[in-house]
Amino acid sequence: MLINRYLTGASSIAVAAALGFAGAAQAQEAAEVQEVVVTGSFIAGTPENAALPVNVIGQDEMQKQGSPSTVDLIKSIPAVQGVAGESNQFGAGQTTGAGSVNLRGLGSERTLVLMNGRRMAISPGSIYVDTNMIPSAAIGRVEVLKDGAAATYGSDAVAGVVNFITRKNLNGLEVSAGYSLIDGSDGDYNVNAAYGWQGDNADILLTAGYRRRSELSAMDRDYAVRPFNENPQGGWSTFGNPGLYLTRSAPGTAFTTRFLDPACAAISGPVSTSGCQFQYIGFDNLVEDEDHWQLYGEINVDLTDNTKFHAEALYSGHVVSAENSSPSYSPNNFPSSALTTVGQPNGFFIPGENPGLQALVAAGQISAAQAANGAFTTVSWRPLGVGGNPLFGGKGKEDKRAFETYRISAGLKGKFDFAGGIGWDAALTYMDSSSDIATPDVLVGKLQMAMRGLGGDNCTGNTPGQNGCLWFNPFSTGIAGNVLDGRTNPGYVSSTANSLEVLDYIFDEYAYKIRSQMFTADLVFNGEVGAIDFGAGPLAWAAGGQYRWSGIERTNNDFTNIAVSPCADSSVISGATCSAQNGPFSFFGALADYDLDYSVGAAFVELQMPFTDTLTGTLAVRYEDYGGNIGSTTNPKVALKWQATDWLALRASAGSTFRAPPQTQIANTATTSLAYTTAAGGYKAYDLWGNPNLRPEKADTLNLGALFEFGDFRASVDYWKFAFKGPIDNEGGSDIVNAVFPAGQPNHCNDPSYAALVSRISFTGTCSATNINRVRINYINSPDVDTSGIDFSASYTARDVFGGDMNFGVDMTYVLEYEVDEAMIEGIVVAPKTDYVGTMDYLGYGSQPQWKGSAFAEYNRGDHNVRWTVRYVDDMIDTRGGTSTFATNQNGLKIGAFVTHDLAYRVMLPWDTTLSLSVINVFDEEPPFARLDLSYDPFTANPLGRYYKLNVIKKF
């Protein structure tokens, strides 16, 4: 949804002032193009009429910043908080390589992302648009509307809009390449080509781009892998291998006697009261190997004097072919007694003749009598640990993620000659995005059979270890040593090492494909009513409608599909039945196939009223109908701009905005996610279920601003406020666990008033924190949220300084409040009313630094430009301070401020060549310490340290 605004006599300074603050360089970029598209209205007019807080970042400005990636560019915007895109699995889940934009910290799903003013489909597996799919070589500028815009654009524009607009007026071929030299990595690089042709009545733009990110291991950064006493949450788990086991006194009795694998202290550890601590973070990467590509083309044709045709097509994708992770996960699912052959639940049975157990007997590390009755595993163990996973090359296992997008948009726009000239714009847009996810996990039934010596695809008969039957050794006797730090195992017995054949037998892929589709049809009319004149010009208007269809489907492989493999034993017993249908994998829960869609009809009206030469008002209202349980919603918005003096303009806007729940959130299906659970000492499974009774979330928005211009000084200040009612979110799994198991207090396992809350947790045995297995959470209309803050931007140009110009700029956001009402689940208050400003609520409301901003000083002389930029992200308090996370160790309770300095130099060389050299993070600032897996917050900080960038652009 666009508005065409022509620079007919408007100065670049007026453009910058109207847009809020774009900076001198950005205003110059806007003035260089014939047509400026301003996000936020449908009514054609000049930039001076803009009353909304819009920031413009042009191509020239991006070059001066050192040509940042899309993720880095978005993260640098002060109004943006908590951005996904750093390529670690703890920040990205199973969408590694995807990027997001999160205005006001309200959630990426509440920022509407457009390309040339048209909607984009959400990324499969998430609820936001993947900004890494945008064709960077084609983008001429980015416009950021920092205000609720549902009255204009409909659902999802709650916090604002980010509009990626393609280049105009390129004539000829342009080729560019860039390389980033990163310590510990092979570096990142990109190559792009853009071709433009300008004819008398038509123009064409074709672009192609490829970007490569190279693996950066956690072991290559000292801050990422920390001792247990510094960061107990930094990749430490009591579920390890070597692990903890149980033995029994006689056949038929319960396994109750704890037995710690004797190699714990030698190759793992430290030893704790609950078992053997295992450090898995060394198997992970800070950045994965990623391959990104984009192809884009557009054509514009003047069919007649009054009719124009536009069409564009995009193909893009990215692949993470080997995301490194822990050698295996700890079990959350266990075989039935039919497979264990013992009556005790929630574990795996290891018979006395298992070669690994016998090797412990031979070494005198366990008595023959103790081993004769076998052993039993609990959750304080995992199949593979410090010895790595030979099936994937010796270290961690490798997960696969692949994403692909097709998009086409075409339309006609023109003007009717009657009624004073009514403009019209009609367009159709279709987008199809898909993901292919595969995560190796252990099959419960096959693991149990292999522990009994009956594993292997070629196993025949019932004799353990014979006739093609294979043993799996769950003990340290089969581990040569710690593959990360080189410590050797004195108790290693090579003949008991697990073969590749048995590992291949017990592992399979937890795999699924998701396809997200969107089709929109837009029709907009606009014009003027000459009969209605407020004294400064006629009433301008726009009206139109939109039809939008969205569909999403998920298909699972047989072992992942709950309809095919519902039970823990399903991998070895065809047609197995069970009461708890958690699927056959040891860690991940089974998924259901789904094919969901809904249609939306919308209509809107917008009026612009020039009351005087200095005062203009705009009124808009939009109606959207979703049908079904969601229903319809109507949202108005009003905006005013008053040019009080030549140097001062005031603006204000107020309205209501909304977001409807996506199909996956109202369908009665579940998706399993993983979260570190402090009370349990490791990662646990959280099954997130859809809720058919969800209502659209709504918010009232307010923006009050002032624009200043004194010669070469320009500034803007805005106060903004969002008042949410029933925002759509999932219940907090950690809130449930912490409410049942409050830190330092007795648990509520037997409290009748907590019975419904306790029923949300499944246990491997009796109700206790150490026995937590899975937690059920639901999508809900969560507690109301009120957030407000102040944006400030300013720029100044000092001219004729040593033959050049000095430019100075500052851009910052200060959050006044982020207050969330108390949360109640199953009749229990699980979280009090809280103001989250200046906090990191990692499993809830994310990272909310109070201050975020940047400032730059730039010298520009002829063909040379040098810029120094300082970026600041404020310190935060970890909200888990009231739980057992910090009960005995306060390290990391406060996450320090992240201050970085960038230096960029650009020179225009002969032969139409531009060279850029940059030093990013000049002083090699490490990300502030946080009590998270990788010891930093991936949503606000960067793990790369100081690195160097070279970019070259050649035009032909």
- Please write the tens of the pLDDT for every residue from 242-266: 999 999 989 889 999 999 999 999 9
pLDDT, position 91: 65
Amino acid at 267: I
- Tell me, yes or no, whether 793 lies in a domain: no
pLDDT, position 285: 93
- Tell me, yes or no, whether 199 lies in a domain: no
Rounded to an integer, the average pLDDT of 636-640 is 93
Rounded to an integer, the average pLDDT of 511-533 is 92
pLDDT in tens, 913-932: 999 999 999 999 999 999 99
d(CA 909, CA 953): 10
Considering the chain, what percentage of its residues have pLDDT values greater than 90?
A: 64
- Pick the more confident residue, 298 or 773: 298
- Tell me, yes or no, whether 49 lies in a domain: no
pLDDT in tens, 876-889: 999 987 676 787 88
44 pLDDT band (50/70/90 cuts)?
A: low
Nearest of 200, 122, 190 to residue 156 by alpha carbon: 122
Considering the chain, what percentage of its residues have pLDDT values greater than 70?
A: 94
Residue 15 in this model has a pLDDT that exceeds 90: no
Residue with tokens 């609990």: 378
Rounded to an integer, the average pLDDT of 474-480 is 96
Mean pLDDT of the chain: 89
Residue 444 in this model has a pLDDT that exceeds 80: yes
pLDDT, position 292: 96
pLDDT, position 191: 97
pLDDT, position 372: 92
pLDDT, position 92: 66
pLDDT, position 797: 95
User: Would you say how long the chain is, in residues?
Assistant: 956
Rounded to an integer, the average pLDDT of 205-218 is 95
Query: What is the helix (H) or strand (E) element at residue 441, kind and residue range?
Result: strand 422-442
- Tell me, yes or no, whether 73 lies in a domain: no
Residue 4 in this model has a pLDDT that exceeds 60: no
Q: Of the candidates 463, 494, 512, which is a domain's last residue?
A: 512
d(CA 433, CA 435): 7
Q: Of the candidates 512, 543, 567, which is a domain's last residue?
A: 512
- Cα torsion angle, 331, 336, 341, 345, sign: positive
- Tell me, yes or no, whether 740 lies in a domain: yes
- Tell me, yes or no, whether 764 lies in a domain: yes
pLDDT in tens, 583-614: 999 998 889 999 999 899 999 999 999 999 89
Burial class (CB in 10 A: 0-12, 13-18, 19+), 432: middle
d(CA 904, CA 920): 8
- Pick the more confident residue, 664 or 26: 664
- Tell me, yes or no, whether 355 lies in a domain: yes
Q: Of the candidates 512, 533, 553, which is a domain's last residue?
A: 512
Residue with tokens 């000239």: 421
667 pLDDT band (50/70/90 cuts)?
A: confident
Domain count for the chain: 2
Q: What is the pTM of this model?
A: 0.89
> Can you read off the two tokens belonging to residue 757?
């809350």
> Which residues form the domain of 666?
661-695+732-773
The rounded Cα 14 to chain-centroid distance in angstroms is 36
- Tell me, yes or no, whether 572 lies in a domain: no
CA-derived radius of gyration, the chain = 30
125 pLDDT band (50/70/90 cuts)?
A: confident
Name 547's bridge partners: 521, 601
Rounded to an integer, the average pLDDT of 325-349 is 92
pLDDT in tens, 347-370: 999 999 999 999 999 998 889 988
